[in-house]
Amino acid sequence: MPARNALSRALRLLTLAAVLATGAAHADTSVDSYAAVNQLLRSGKPAEAIARADSYLAGNARDPQMRFLKGVAQTDAGQTADAVATFTLLVEEYPELAEPYNNLAVIYAGQGDLDKARVALEMAVRNNPTYAVAHENLGDIHARLAYQSYVRAQELDPRVAASVRPKLVQLRSLLQPVAPAAKK
């Protein structure tokens, strides 16, 4: 009987080892897949990144990290509607994540929908108060909204032009794209 208990215990340990090894192999595959998609994105190959993400997601459909990377690739590929759908589904299924809200906001701002961008960024910073990029993007949106409000104020009442004009000048310079640093 002791030999049978030992054999049974050995089989359980072997089964457990096999399960753990499968999990480790799956984890290695995940890390490799994320790295591959990231590398394709850095190399400016969003279509290939989407294909690689789709291949991975065929077996891991609910993986939020890969779905996020797919949304980034869709954005880079100019597939804006698909990217919005990807990020929207992510925030519906994982409302605690901040990054998809930030990426939605960037798309909305690019489309000129500053109110939707503001709401998405407010969700991002509510979910992750230390997410510096979302705070910066929210500041940019507030500056653009302020610019629009000052322009509208001038249109409604030309008498405010004297007080609004300096604010518009400052905001215009603030909102100008920053020139990339020259490479040495």
Is residue 1 included in any domain, yes or no? Answer: no
Is residue 15 included in any domain, yes or no? Answer: no
Give the phi and the psi of residue 19 in degrees, each rounded to 5: -65, -45
Q: How many CB atoms lie within 10 A of CB 50?
A: 23
Is residue 13 included in any domain, yes or no? Answer: no
Q: pLDDT by residue (tens digit) across 101-130?
A: 999 999 999 999 999 999 999 999 999 999
pTM over the 0.85 mark: no
- Tokens 């939605």 locate to 104
Is residue 57 included in any domain, yes or no? Answer: yes
Task: Please report the pLDDT score of residue 110 as a whole number.
Answer: 95
Task: Please report the pLDDT score of residue 147 as a whole number.
Answer: 95
Q: How many domains does the chain have?
A: 2
Contact 99, 132 (CB under 8 A): no
Taken in order 55, 58, 60, 64, the sign of the CA dihedral is: positive
pLDDT at 98 over 90: yes
- Tokens 């096999």 locate to 18
Is residue 19 included in any domain, yes or no? Answer: no
Domain that holds residue 172: 95-176
Task: Please report the pLDDT score of residue 163 as a whole number.
Answer: 94
Average confidence (pLDDT) over 76-80: 97
